[in-house]
Amino acid sequence: MTTTTPSVQLVSDLVTRIPEFQDALEAHVFNQGGVLPHVFFWDVVQDTVRSFLGEDPAAAHWRRTLDFLEEQSCRGVLGIDEVIVTSFLNDLPYPHEPGHAIVQQLGPVMAAKFGRIRPGG
C-alpha cells in the first residue's frame, strides 16, 4: 500500500477544490513522471498571480486559491506548511514586480508566515 505524503495530498486536494488546476497537474505529472509538490506549486503561483493581475480569464480565481491555502495553513501540518511557505509564499512577486499587491490579500496565517520569511515584502 502506498502512503500519500501530506504535500502530495495538498496537491490532490487543491485540484479537487479548484479543478482549473487539473490541466496543469496533468502536464506536470507527464513532464515530471509523478507529483513533485514544490515544483508544481511554481505553476500555482504563476497562475494565481496572472489571475490577480487579470491576465488570464481562464485561470482559477486568485481568491479561491488564497482561501484554500489559508485553510490548509491553519491545519499546522508540517509537509503542507513546507510547500505553502517555501514554494508559494516565497515565490510570490517581490515589491518591484507586477502582482506584488497580492501579498496584501493573504489571510492572517499566511500573512504571518510571509512576514517571517520575507520581512521586506
| Residue 94 phi, psi (nearest 5) | -85, 165
Query: pLDDT tens, 78-107?
Result: 999 999 999 999 999 999 999 999 999 999
Q: What is the pLDDT along the chain (121 residues), one digit of tens a residue?
A: 557 999 999 999 999 999 999 999 999 999 999 999 999 999 999 999 999 999 988 889 999 999 999 999 999 999 999 999 999 999 999 999 999 999 999 999 999 999 999 999 9
pLDDT score at 2: 58
Taking the C-alpha atoms of residue 89 and residue 44, their distance in angstroms, rounded to an integer, is 11
Evaluated on CA atoms 21, 2, 38, 104, the torsion sign reads: positive
| Of the candidates 34, 49, 40, the residue with the CA atom closest to the CA atom of residue 21 | 40
Helix (H, G, I), strand (E, B) or coil at 101: helix
pTM: 0.95
